[in-house]
Amino acid sequence: MTLTRINRFPSLWREFDDLFRDFAPATAPTADVARTMVPTTDVLETEKAIELKVDMPGVTPEAIDVKLDGNVLTLSAERKQETKEEKNGWVRQERSWGRFARSFVLPETVEGTTPEASYKHGVLTVTLPKKEVPQPKSFKVKVDA
């Protein structure tokens, strides 16, 4: 009798493999292919603005492009590969390099005409002020008798 293993969740296992493959460092000295970079981002919403903080260490400010097109914010940049020096025949390169872009769909409450961006210590901060929502006015109506 032959036992056959049945994989009932092939797509789930494939997704796990893909997830962990992205975190696996390139350990071979011949890993000269740029890996996909997806910078980690924190999004904070306050009463007056939406703020994005994006980790981009090793990227020069000149290589960062911030575009707001309608309600879509697109951040793109490029981190150049540093030249490698081989010593004793061994090189290890784990940091990602290459070009990347990331887009965010913004809510309608964002004012798209006055975004601000700053880059300090490897963190890009984009601040998008919210539209001022007109508050309903209340007033007393005189009742004639």
32-55 pLDDT, tens digit per residue, is: 444 556 788 999 999 899 999 999
Cα–Cα distances (Å) from 107 to 16, 45, 69, 88, 112, in that order, read 31, 11, 13, 54, 10
Q: What percent of the chain has pLDDT over 70?
A: 64
Specify the pLDDT at position 53: 96
Confidence of residue 27 (pLDDT cuts 50, 70, 90): very low
| Residues 105-116: tens digit of each pLDDT | 988 888 878 889
Q: What is the mean pLDDT of the chain?
A: 77
Both tokens assigned to 120: 């300090």
- Distance of alpha carbon 43 from alpha carbon 54, whole angstroms: 9
- Say which DSSP state 113 is in: T
Q: What is the largest CA-CA distance in the chain?
A: 101
The residue among 96 and 129 whose pLDDT is bigger is: 129
pLDDT(28) > 70: no
Gap between the terminal Cα atoms of the chain? 100
Instruction: Say if pTM beats, i.e. exceeds, 0.75.
Output: no
Which residue segments constitute the domains of the chain, with CATH numbers given?
A: 38-81+96-132 (2.60.40.790)
Exposure b/e, 90-99, CB count within 10 A at least 16 = b: eeebeebbee
Q: What is the pLDDT of residue 83?
A: 66
Return the structure tokens found at 90: 């061994």
**Is residue 75 within 8 Å of residue 101, measured between CB atoms?**
yes
Q: What is the pLDDT of residue 134?
A: 78
DSSP letters spanning 99-126: EEEEEEEPPTTB-TT--EEEEETTEEEE
Give pLDDT, residue 108: 87
pLDDT at 126: 95
Is residue 23 scored above 70 in pLDDT? Answer: no
User: Is pLDDT of 29 > 60?
Assistant: no
* ∠ Cα 27 30 31 (to 5°): 60
